[in-house]
């Protein structure tokens, strides 16, 4: 679907698999270039969704990034060694956040 025009210079982890990346490009671009199209599953039906706008408006690119949920992959710059995973369902709140 997408083809890289610039060489990669690092790797990231996606769902436990190493993905070639270029530091500074968006995580969404990295994943799309690797053939990943499902970034999250909806909270109600579990339907898979992927990036649509690539500019921070649609929220269909939400992922878990380095343990933080609800990160917009299209706005997250790649850092070597970052660990990302699919966002499954709604964000899980920690007990300390519920009390706030």
Residues 25-44 interacting with ligand FES (rule: CB under 6 A): 28
Asked if residue 64 binds ligand FES (CB under 6 A), the reply is no
CA angle 88, 70, 100 (to 5 degrees): 110
Match 């890289």 to its residue by tokens: 4
Q: How many Cβ atoms are within 10 Å of 27's Cβ, its own excluded? A: 27
Residue number, 64 or 99, with CB nearest to ligand FES:
64
Among 38, 53, 83, 90, binds ligand FES (CB under 6 A): 53
Residue 24 DSSP SS3? coil
- Which residues bind to ligand FES, rule: CB under 6 A? 28, 51-54, 56-61, 72, 74
């Amino acid at each position: 679907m997408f083809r890289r025009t610039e060489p990669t210079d690092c790797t990231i982890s996606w769902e436990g698999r190493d993905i070639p990346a270029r530091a500074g490009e968006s995580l969404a671009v990295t994943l799309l270039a690797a053939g990943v199209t499902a970034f999250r599953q909806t909270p109600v039906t579990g339907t898979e969704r992927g990036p649509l706008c690539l500019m921070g408006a649609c929220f269909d690119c939400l992922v878990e990034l380095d343990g933080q949920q609800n990160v917009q992959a299209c706005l997250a710059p790649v850092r070597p060694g970052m660990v990302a995973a699919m966002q499954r369902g709604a964000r899980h709140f920690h007990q300390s956040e519920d009390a706030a």
